[in-house]
């Protein structure tokens, strides 16, 4: 009998399966789609043109996970993260490593302000890393282990000293706009940095709690993986295989069957039934509980809690195939990604004004990735693919609306790109637009929320995705959660899967 | 320099007066200095037009702590609260929602919107009451000090942790969610009808520069739920004689206990010698010495105005400057020839005797906030309207009425700059009256006098910096041990012998009296006086 069935072959599921297999468990990993990687899966959106995944930033992948799984032996290679360009169309800034260093500034005052902000972040990095690299602090510690963890986390906080500890507690609930404004950064730089905090969220930079998103990101960012997300997925798949995990794609889960309140089996769409005592779901918490488990098995309270998880997506993705490289201004010649906003925090706030009312914003914020410049074979030689993150586009489940939305998004994006490169229309070979609804339909991202569960303070740490589910085990015996909807959540970190697997191995 | 005081208190608002009363009760020689000719600060009743007495700024009471009322024996000095026990929300399509103190009637009214919500409503009220009781130690005691290494403080912190833990994990979770969620998200976990959620959510934005969808507003919602009148949670009331009567009662109590109070005594500066506050200099040049100086004005005015930047360490100046005030509300006070008639519910029934809330939908309120975000007053604002003269005829001539309209949003920082407010004041007043007239069409012809207070006026007349009615936003980073400044939440300031006792300190804004009382208690314990 299979000891553990892991559902979902995204990067978290792969990490979890590899960890469990390494720990000597008999593991079966199930992926509904025909390929590995989930949001990190490479995708041929037009014949001959590929993007390496929906998520691009691998710099948050945790080095400890890579070490423990010996991913380097499987071909994963760490490298310095690419450069980030920030522009409003007229001025240009360049930062290294997704914002960890400043390359090209507007002036000296800005460099000073940047250094002040950057050192404030550095100060908190050890505490935040510890917070993000271990299970969320227990709300109601039971037993020695949990008390020990709480004690360690408390101690790490205290080690900051009184002043800095208070400062950290002050920053965490703040809005990213208020926090950045304390540093007199230039509006352009502030907007470029703040985007990370509101990415894909149902909020603007003036929302309380967004400072934490930025702080968490910068504290966890480090080396990137050469070859982007798809290279990471390849290494994880071969790591799973090498450790003896069984891997199956095209295996869509229909039900998690329980017997006497315990996990008993996983039934697939194909009719096949796999007996097991433990299921680790790296899928969405709402899919897991509301789609795969018989509602009669859930208490009313738990069902209500799970329905209340907020998963509203606000970002569309546009993939473009170009017959020639996009012409870029001189400062951006060697950047990996360009954030193109409106030149200030107010502009970024306006970007969110549409989705609140279920509308597309008149003003968009673009994050343009240029993956084919660093990775060969994504496009035919001399040609280019662009993968563009478009904020803000609301989730609406009406097909007609989405059809119109795709057209509008493509038109707006092309108009903006024309400002960069007047020839871009002539270079366009193909375009694919994915609205949040498309992301739900095709990637299983409930609500089109790219991080599974919205990144707000009340859905982070010990409240992610809900208090009762925050430590990977769930109220259903044998059922565990380990996807992005769990602490520490977010983009490509591998941590939720890693920590969930550790929880199973320890139990 | 005639007489040396134990304490001189700057500002005769309700917190300054409460602080004075507690210190006088302990036998200290206290002097309160009020800039205006009238006591109360923003807790004030003013006869702006002959015969019409307005609670010009704050207009309802709930949070004034019962123990303070008892300690100072306020009813003896004229403190009396008339219950305000209905909330009436008209909708543009002619519908309305009336919630009042009769649970069965309220349930039926809500059931017209959503039967499910009607069932949950009572449970929600009980849960909020329970949460209110849970956080009571937080608002009745000085803020906990998580960064302190003092064993006594650690013990208090542990005891507080135990207090929460004993209620069970669910309550801890509920508390954490309350602190971090938006009012709409929080209420949406309970209710489905937007027509119920919107008027309930507005408690979460009162006095803040936040929208009902902004995280952090659920806490402000709770803040407004913590009120207690005669032991009943969540009850709001109208003080007889206007809110000024509260200040008058506290002032009388303080004077009876031996405190000295002077009006028309504006303080120019806090006197310092060798880094210590030694007294104050009045605007007329007189100096008054005291063993401690207690400021009952907001942190900005205290540090940047009265202490002076040149006397502050650089780091402190930075911290004070980043303390957020940004007022977001205004007030329109009307003298009316008769009662207005709402087209959705004619007559002068119960619905006029409570709160009339203009909050017809979530998007309506969010759009009102969008205006404010970009430096405009809301063209169609949220309004909280009361007609005190219906319950308390003493505040208007016979047959006539006063109407108090609390309006949000009116951002202090207009796109054109705050000094543009005098120019926009009338347009702002018009927007308020026009919006309200959509629901009560005869309102315009009843208006005898109109008195508009913009955030600019709140600053100029009442001394509230940036027009913030709470002396600083009630956002998480400015609450509890972070209010007003990290590390200085225990009413002390970085300047020796200078203390603070008003809404800018823990537990914050509204007519609570707690900051004043806790400051006095802490001061007495410290034996500084």
Residues A454-503 have pLDDT tens digits of 999 999 999 999 999 999 999 999 999 999 999 998 889 999 999 999 99
Testing the interface with A: which of B182, B322, B323 to mutate, by most A Cβ within 10 A? B182
- Specify the residue for token string 């008058």: B248
pLDDT over 80 at A337, yes or no: yes
**Residues of A with Cβ-Cβ distance to B188 under 8 angstroms:** 308
Sign, CA dihedral B124-B128-B133-B135, equals positive
For the cut 90, the answer to whether the pLDDT of residue B234 exceeds it is no
Chain A segment 125-144 residues within 8 A of B by beta carbon are: 139-140
**Which residue does chain B place closest to A161, by CA atoms?**
B147
CB pairs under 8 A between A and B: 96
Question: How many Å is the Cα radius of gyration of chain A?
Answer: 22
Average pLDDT over residues B441-469: 97
Q: How far apart are CA A127 and CA A349, in angstroms?
A: 30
Structure tokens at A249: 């794609």
User: Could you give the CA distance from residue A60 to residue A494 in angstroms, rounded to a whole number?
Assistant: 9
- Inter-chain touch B373–A178, beta carbons under 8 Å: no
Nearest Cβ partner for B213 among A174, A356, A462: A356
Q: How many CB atoms lie within 10 A of CB A401?
A: 15
- Gap from B514 CA to chain A (nearest CA, Å): 23
Given a contact cutoff of 8 angstroms between Cβ atoms, the answer to whether A192 and A339 are in contact is: yes
| % pLDDT > 70, chain B | 98
Instruction: Name the average pLDDT for chain A.
Output: 93
To which H or E segment does residue A213 belong? helix A210-220
Residue B231 scores a pLDDT above 80: no
Min Cα–Cα distance to chain A from B464, Å: 21
Least confident among A299-303, B48-52, B139-143: B139-143
Please count the other Cβ atoms lying within 10 Å of the Cβ belonging to residue A358.
11
**Chain A (84-123) residues lying within 8 Å, Cβ to Cβ, of chain B:** none
Which one, of A448, A425, A445, lies nearest residue A435 by Cα? A448
Contacts of B170 in chain A (CB under 8 A): 467
Rounded CA gap, A418 and B520, in Å? 66
Tell which of B215, B218, B220, B374 to mutate to test the A interface (max A CBs under 10 Å): B215
> Chain B residue closest to A357 (CA)?
B363
Of B172, B188, B324, the CB nearest to A178: B324
CB–CB of B181 and A458 under 8 A?
yes
B69-73, B158-162, B257-261: least confident range:
B158-162
When pLDDT is cut at 50, 70 and 90, the band that residue B166 belongs to is confident
Flag whether pLDDT at B73 surpasses 70. yes
Q: Closest chain B residue to A155 measured between Cα atoms? A: B147
pLDDT of B106 strictly over 90? yes
- Among A116, A52, A40, which Cα is nearest to A337's? A52
Amino acid A389: pLDDT: 96
Instruction: Using pLDDT thresholds of 50, 70 and 90, give the confidence band for residue A111.
Output: confident
Residue B1: pLDDT band with limits 50, 70, 90: very low
Q: If you average pLDDT over every residue of chain B, what do you get?
A: 93
Mean pLDDT is lowest, of A94-108, B44-58, B181-195, B350-364, for A94-108
Instruction: Tell if the CB–CB gap between B215 and A209 is shorter than 8 Å.
Output: yes
Q: Residue B526 above 60 pLDDT?
A: yes
pLDDT of A370 strictly over 90: yes
Distance in angstroms (rounded) separating the CA atoms of residues A443 and A41: 10
Joined tokens for residue B8 = 């001189």
Q: What is the mean pLDDT of residues B332-347?
A: 97
Higher pLDDT among residues B249 and B154, named by residue:
B249
Closest to A309 measured CA to CA, from B201, B55, B334, B189: B189
The answer to whether residue B228 scores a pLDDT higher than 70 is: no
Q: Provide the b/e sequence for B409-427 (b: ≥16 CB within 10 Å).
A: bbbbbbeeebeebeebbee
> What whole-number percentage of chain B has pLDDT above 90?
78
Is the pLDDT score of B222 beyond 90? no
Give the mean pLDDT of A209-234.
93
Query: Residue A82 CB: number of other CB atoms within 10 A?
Result: 23
Q: Closest chain B residue to A462 measured between Cα atoms? A: B173
- The pLDDT, as a whole number, for residue B227 is 66
The maximal CA–CA distance of chain B, rounded, in angstroms, is 70
Average confidence (pLDDT) over B345-355: 93
Shortest Cα–Cα distance, A140 to chain B (Å): 6
**Banded model confidence at residue A156, pLDDT cuts 50, 70, 90:** confident
**Least CB–CB distance from A357: residue in B215, B363, B475:** B363
pLDDT band at B4 (very low <50, low <70, confident <90, very high): confident
Torsion of CA A53, A188, B416, B469, to 10 degrees: 70
User: Stretch B92-110: mean pLDDT, rounded?
Assistant: 93
Buried b (16+ CB within 10 A) or exposed e, B119-131: ebbeebeeebbeb
Q: What is the pLDDT of residue B332?
A: 98
Highest mean pLDDT among B158-167, B430-439, B509-518: B430-439
pLDDT at A155: 86
B209: DSSP letter: S
Q: What are phi and psi of A481, to 5 degrees?
A: -115, 145
Is the pLDDT score of A138 beyond 90?
Answer: no
* Per-residue pLDDT, A41: 94
With an 8 Å Cβ cutoff, are A209 and B487 in contact?
A: no
pLDDT the model gives residue A371: 96
Prior bond to A392 cis, omega within 30? yes
Please say whether the beta carbons of B89 and B355 come within 8 A.
no
Q: How far is CA B234 from the centre of its chain?
A: 15
User: Are B214 and B167 in contact, with CB atoms under 8 Å apart?
Assistant: no
Percent of chain A at pLDDT above 90? 86
Place A98 in a pLDDT band, splitting at 50, 70 and 90: low
Where is A211: in which H helix or E strand?
helix A210-220
């Amino acid at each position: 009998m299979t000891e553990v069935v892991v559902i979902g072959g995204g990067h978290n599921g792969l990490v979890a399966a590899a960890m469990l297999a390494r720990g000597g468990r008999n593991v079966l990993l199930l992926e509904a789609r025909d390929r590995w990687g989930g949001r990190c899966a490479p995708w041929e959106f037009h014949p001959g043109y590929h993007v390496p995944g929906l998520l691009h930033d691998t710099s948050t992948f945790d080095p400890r996970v890579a070490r423990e799984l010996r991913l380097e032996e499987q071909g994963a290679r760490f490298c310095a993260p690419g450069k980030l360009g920030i522009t409003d169309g007229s001025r240009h800034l360049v930062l290294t490593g997704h914002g960890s260093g400043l390359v090209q500034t507007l002036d000296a005052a800005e460099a000073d302000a940047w250094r002040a902000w950057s050192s404030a972040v550095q100060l908190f990095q050890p505490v935040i890393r510890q917070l993000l690299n271990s299970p969320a602090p227990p709300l109601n510690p039971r037993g020695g282990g949990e008390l020990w963890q709480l004690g360690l986390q408390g101690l790490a906080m205290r080690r900051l000293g009184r002043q800095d500890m208070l400062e950290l507690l002050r920053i965490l609930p703040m809005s990213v706009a208020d926090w950045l404004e304390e540093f007199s950064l230039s509006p352009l730089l502030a907007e470029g940095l703040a985007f990370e905090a509101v990415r894909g969220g149902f909020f603007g930079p003036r929302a309380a709690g967004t400072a934490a998103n930025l702080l968490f990101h910068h504290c966890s960012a480090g080396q990137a993986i050469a070859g982007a997300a798809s290279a990471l997925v390849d290494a994880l798949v071969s790591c799973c295989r090498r450790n003896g995990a069984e891997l199956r794609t095209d295996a869509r889960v229909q039900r998690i069957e329980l017997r006497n309140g315990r996990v008993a089996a996983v039934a697939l769409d194909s009719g096949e039934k796999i007996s097991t005592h433990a299921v680790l779901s790296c899928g969405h918490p709402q899919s897991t509980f509301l789609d795969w488990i018989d509602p009669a098995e859930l208490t009313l309270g738990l069902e209500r809690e799970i329905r209340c998880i907020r998963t509203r997506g606000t970002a569309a993705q546009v993939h473009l195939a170009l017959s020639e490289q996009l012409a870029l201004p001189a400062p951006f010649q060697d950047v990996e990604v360009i954030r193109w906003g409106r030149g200030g925090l107010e502009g970024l706030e306006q970007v969110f004004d549409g989705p609140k009312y279920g509308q597309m914003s008149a003003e968009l914020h673009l994050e343009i990735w240029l993956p084919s410049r660093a990775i060969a074979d994504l496009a035919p030689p001399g040609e280019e693919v662009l993968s563009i993150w478009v904020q803000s586009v609301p989730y609406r489940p009406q097909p007609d609306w989405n059809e119109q939305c795709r057209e509008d998004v493509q038109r707006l994006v092309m108009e903006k790109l024309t400002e960069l490169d007047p020839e871009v229309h002539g270079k366009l070979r193909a375009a694919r637009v994915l609205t949040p609804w498309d992301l739900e339909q095709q990637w299983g991202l409930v609500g089109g929320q790219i991080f599974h569960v919205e990144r707000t303070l009340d859905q982070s740490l010990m409240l992610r995705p809900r208090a009762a589910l925050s430590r990977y085990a769930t109220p259903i015996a044998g059922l565990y959660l380990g996807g992005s909807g769990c602490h520490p959540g977010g983009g490509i970190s591998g941590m939720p899967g890693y920590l969930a697997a550790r929880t199973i191995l320890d139990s | 320099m005639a007489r040396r005081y134990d304490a001189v208190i700057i500002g005769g608002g309700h917190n300054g007066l409460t602080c004075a009363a507690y210190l006088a009760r302990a036998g200290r020689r206290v002097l309160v200095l009020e800039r205006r000719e009238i006591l109360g600060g923003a807790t004030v009743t003013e006869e702006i037009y002959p015969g019409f007495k307005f609670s010009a700024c704050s207009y309802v009471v709930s949070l004034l702590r019962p123990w303070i009322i008892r300690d100072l024996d306020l009813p003896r000095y004229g403190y009396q609260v008339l219950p305000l026990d209905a909330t009436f929300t008209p909708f543009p399509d002619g519908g309305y929602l009336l919630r009042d103190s009769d649970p069965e009637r309220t349930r039926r009214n809500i059931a017209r919107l959503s039967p499910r919500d009607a069932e949950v409503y009572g449970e929600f009220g009980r849960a909020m009451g329970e949460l209110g009781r849970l956080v009571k130690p937080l608002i009745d005691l000085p803020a906990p000090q998580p960064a302190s290494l003092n064993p006594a403080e650690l013990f208090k912190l542990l005891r507080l942790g135990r207090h929460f833990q004993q209620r069970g994990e669910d309550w801890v979770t509920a508390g954490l969610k309350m602190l971090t969620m938006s009012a709409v998200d929080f209420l949406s976990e309970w209710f489905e009808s937007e027509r119920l959620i919107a008027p309930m959510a507005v408690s979460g934005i009162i006095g803040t520069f936040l929208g009902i969808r902004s995280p952090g507003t659920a806490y402000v919602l709770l803040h407004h739920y913590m009120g207690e009148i005669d032991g009943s949670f969540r009850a709001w009331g109208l003080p007889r004689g206007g809110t000024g009567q509260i200040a008058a009662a506290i002032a009388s109590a303080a004077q009876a206990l031996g405190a000295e109070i002077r009006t028309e005594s504006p303080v120019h500066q806090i006197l310092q010698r060798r880094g210590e506050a030694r007294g104050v200099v009045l605007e007329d040049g007189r100096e008054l010495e005291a063993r401690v100086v207690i400021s009952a004005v907001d942190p900005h005015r205290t540090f940047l105005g009265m202490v002076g930047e040149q006397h502050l360490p650089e780091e402190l100046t930075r911290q004070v400057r980043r303390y957020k005030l940004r007022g977001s509300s205004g007030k329109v006070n009307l003298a009316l020839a008769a009662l207005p008639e709402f087209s959705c519910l004619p007559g002068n029934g119960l619905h006029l005797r409570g709160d009339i809330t203009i909050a017809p939908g979530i998007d309506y309120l969010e759009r009102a906030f969008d205006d404010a975000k970009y430096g405009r007053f809301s063209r169609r604002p949220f309004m909280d309207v009361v007609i005190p003269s219906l319950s308390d005829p003493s505040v208007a001539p016979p047959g006539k009425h006063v109407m108090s309209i609390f309006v949000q949003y009116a951002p202090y920082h207009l796109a054109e700059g705050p000094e543009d407010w005098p120019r926009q004041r009338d347009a702002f007043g018009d927007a308020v009256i026009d919006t309200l007239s959509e629901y009560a069409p005869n309102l315009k012809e009843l208006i005898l006098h109109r008195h508009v207070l913009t955030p600019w006026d709140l600053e100029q007349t009442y001394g509230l910096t940036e027009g913030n009615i709470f002396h600083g936003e009630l956002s998480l980073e400015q609450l509890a041990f972070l209010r007003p400044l990290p590390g200085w939440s225990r009413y002390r300031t970085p300047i020796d012998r200078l203390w603070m006792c008003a809404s800018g300190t823990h537990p914050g804004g509204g007519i609570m009296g707690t900051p004043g009382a806790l400051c006095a208690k802490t001061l007495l314990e410290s034996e500084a006086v």
